[in-house]
């Protein structure tokens, strides 16, 4: 077999800011930013934790700014967030004010094109995954990629390899009808792959490892996860797509979610979250778990890592792999599957049952971190953490940060040691945090109908409608919807924003007339 030259790309650091003056872009997706989880790390405070990615496409390389705080520029011009920018050789890139050069004129040696016998020549632009060609450290996506996962264990630390190869798809190019792209994660029981469906959409596909197929418990757990996920149909829960046999194996297909988990966001956040953002995350999360409990599904592993904020700033709940389809269970069936920092006290007692309030306690801990910026129990070992869950009363969040007492009190109620003292549902939890539930509000709202201004209100009504039109135009970008309601002589405009509480503008028509306005 002969060999020939092929182009590769590099990112050059002339000022040696990173300590890596020349970085080969050997991955399909290279993550760039301040966080240690990136591939190319720029340790500068004004560079965002997840600042940008450079992705290899069939027609070249593209640069994508991940909505960074201090922006990304190419040749002096700021690029739009989340919009791919096609790079050319010697383009000058600035992440914040730090300068790098994109180089695409180096060559390496690679195998000559090989015909597959069908008249198509594989020129090597997209190599197939085989045990021999797959890198020891799998290519990682632009942001942490998540899907509701089975218990696949943790990814090997950087610089180490796992002696057990993941279950490579048959023919190394397809799982069922899904084209294999990259390996996202692997562990003792299975592997997760990024694939592409027939319409060109990315999906996450999970397979059991070959040795796990002999493990009756692992197979049963995998089927159980598919049943759990198939019951879920909520915008804030990672979507189930398909489940099918693959040779002697089985595959679960899920949405491929690009985003950042709450744990990573808490780690990178300097201080606490903006209050409105924390409220929006909490509200959507409560809605998702309320829906899951309505389907009689306990998550059993609620923690910040399983709460994802996607690129549209929408919450997506992940990892229903150890969820349970029942209202309660004995601790014997779940004691081995816990995250000590986010585990309810009753789960450490094998004589107690695990029920929905256990999930509420776990989410209360996540919300404590979300609003207060810290875990309520500052301990250094699992044993100390268990003792704290059983015996230590957490400090009120409002004593740490300036937040409403209602939110602080609701979080503390979710963290009651006795499960009977916690909220009975996530909907009740949400009402305590933010006021009346959507259902209660709808029940109290008057019936909507035609706004009819009689002769005495005609002039002032027309004037107010013009004023309301100006207000609606002003808030058009922030607003999701609006309603105009007339009750007797009172006219009320209600604007529903994408974030935060509704804005109400109420006018008493009789009073306005009497005041001569």
pLDDT > 80? residue 62: yes
pLDDT > 90? residue 141: no
pLDDT value of residue 471: 80
Name 67's Cβ contacts closer than 8 Å, sequence gap at least 6. 81, 82, 311
pLDDT value of residue 118: 32
Q: Which of 6-10, 11-15, 118-122 has the lowest mean pLDDT?
A: 118-122
Confidence band of 516 (pLDDT split at 50, 70, 90) = low
pLDDT, tens only, 216-235 = 877 888 888 888 888 788 88
Residue 126 burial (CB count, 10 A): 12
Tell me the domains of the chain and their CATH numbers.
3-110 (2.60.200.20), 135-255 (3.30.200.20), 261-440 (1.10.510.10), 445-514 (no CATH)
Tokens 């198939």 belong to 230
Confidence band of 491 (pLDDT split at 50, 70, 90) = confident
| For the chain, counts of helices (H) and of strands (E) | 10, 30
Confidence band of 38 (pLDDT split at 50, 70, 90) = confident
Q: Which of 33-37, 361-365, 436-440, 455-459 has the lowest mean pLDDT?
A: 436-440
pLDDT, tens only, 282-304 = 999 999 999 988 888 888 789 99
CB 87 within 8 A of CB 79: no
**DSSP 3-state assignment of 403?**
coil
pLDDT value of residue 214: 80
φ, ψ for residue 120, nearest 5 deg: -100, 135
- Of 167, 243, 180, 171, the residue nearest 210 (C-alpha): 167
Provide mean pLDDT across the span 84-112.
77
For residue 45, with 0-12 CB atoms within 10 Å meaning exposed, 13-18 middle and 19 or more buried, which class applies? exposed
φ, ψ for residue 146, nearest 5 deg: -130, 150
pLDDT, tens only, 66-82 = 999 999 999 999 999 99
Q: For 219-262, where are the E strands, in sequence order?
A: 240-246, 249-255, 257-261
Spatial separation of the C-alpha atoms in residues 148 and 317, rounded to whole Å: 8
Provide mean pLDDT across the span 418-437.
90
Please indicate whether residue 374 or residue 2 has the higher confidence score (pLDDT): 374
Spatial separation of the C-alpha atoms in residues 270 and 292, rounded to whole Å: 32
Laid out side by side, the sheet with 178-186 consists of 174-175, 178-186, 190-196, 202-208, 249-255, 240-246
pLDDT, tens only, 385-425 = 989 999 999 999 999 999 999 999 999 999 999 999 999 99
Please indicate whether residue 334 or residue 452 has the higher confidence score (pLDDT): 452
Q: Which sign, positive or negative, has the C-alpha torsion 419, 425, 427, 428?
A: negative
pLDDT > 80? residue 145: no
Which residues carry out catalysis?
Answer: 301
pLDDT, tens only, 353-392 = 677 888 999 999 999 999 999 999 998 888 899 899 999 9
pLDDT > 70? residue 168: no
Could you tell me which residues are beta bridge partners of residue 186? Answer: 191
pLDDT > 50? residue 16: yes
| Mean pLDDT for all residues in the chain | 76
CB 310 within 8 A of CB 257: yes
- Of 170, 182, 151, 320, the residue nearest 245 (C-alpha): 170
pLDDT, tens only, 317-338 = 887 655 444 444 444 444 445 6
pLDDT value of residue 433: 95
Paired tokens of 391: 């015996």
């Amino acid at each position: 077999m002969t060999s020939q030259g092929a182009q590769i790309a590099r990112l050059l650091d002339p000022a040696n800011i990173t300590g890596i003056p020349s970085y080969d872009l050997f991955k399909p997706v290279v993550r760039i930013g301040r966080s240690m989880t990136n591939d190319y790390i720029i340790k500068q405070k004004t560079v965002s934790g997840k600042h940008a990615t450079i992705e290899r496409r069939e027609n070249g390389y593209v640069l994508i700014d991940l909505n960074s705080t201090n922006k990304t520029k190419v040749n002096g011009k700021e690029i739009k967030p989340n919009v791919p920018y096609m790079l050319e050789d010697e383009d000058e890139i600035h992440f914040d004010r730090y300068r790098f050069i994109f180089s695409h004129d180096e060559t390496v040696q690679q195998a000559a094109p090989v015909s597959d016998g069908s008249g198509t020549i594989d020129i090597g632009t997209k190599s197939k995954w085989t045990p021999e060609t797959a890198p020891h450290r799998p290519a990682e996506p632009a942001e942490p990629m998540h899907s509701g996962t089975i218990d696949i264990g943790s990814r090997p630390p950087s610089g180490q390899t796992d002696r057990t190869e993941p279950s490579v798809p048959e023919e190394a190019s397809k799982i069922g009808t899904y084209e294999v792209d990259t390996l996202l994660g692997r562990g003792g029981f299975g592997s997760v792959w990024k694939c592409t469906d027939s319409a060109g959409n990315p999906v996450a596909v999970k397979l059991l490892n070959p040795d796990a197929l002999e493990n009756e418990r692992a197979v049963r757990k995998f089927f159980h996860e598919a049943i759990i996920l198939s019951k879920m149909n909520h915008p804030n829960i990672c979507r189930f797509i398909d489940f099918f046999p693959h040779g002697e194996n089985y595959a679960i297909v899920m949405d491929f979610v690009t985003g950042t988990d709450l744990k990573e966001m808490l780690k990178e956040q300097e201080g606490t979250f903006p209050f409105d953002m924390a409220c929006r995350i909490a509200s959507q999360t409560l809605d998702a778990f309320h829906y899951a409990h309505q389907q009689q599904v306990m998550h059993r592993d609620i923690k910040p890592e399983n709460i994802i904020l996607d690129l549209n700033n929408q919450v997506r709940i992940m990892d229903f792999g150890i969820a349970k389809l029942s209202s309660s269970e004995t601790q014997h069936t779940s004691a081995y599957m816990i995250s000590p920092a986010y585990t309810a006290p009753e789960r450490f007692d094998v004589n107690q049952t695990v029920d929905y309030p256990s999930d509420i306690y776990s989410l209360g801990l996540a919300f404590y971190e979300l609003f207060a910026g810290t875990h309520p129990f500052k301990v250094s070992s699992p044993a100390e953490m268990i003792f704290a869950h059983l015996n230590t009363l957490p400090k009120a969040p409002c004593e740490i940060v300036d937040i409403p007492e209602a939110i602080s009190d609701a979080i503390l109620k979710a963290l009651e040691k006795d499960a009977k003292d916690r909220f009975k549902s996530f909907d009740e939890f949400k009402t305590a945090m933010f006021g009346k539930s959507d259902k209660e509000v709808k029940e109290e709202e008057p019936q909507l109908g035609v706004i009819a201004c009689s002769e005495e209100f005609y002039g002032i009504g027309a004037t107010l409608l013009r004023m309301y039109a100006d207000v609606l135009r002003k808030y058009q970008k922030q607003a999701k919807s609006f309603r105009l309601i007339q009750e007797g002589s009172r006219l009320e405009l209600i604007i529903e924003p994408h974030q935060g509480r509704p804005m109400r503008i109420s006018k008493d028509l009789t009073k306005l007339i009497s005041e001569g306005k």
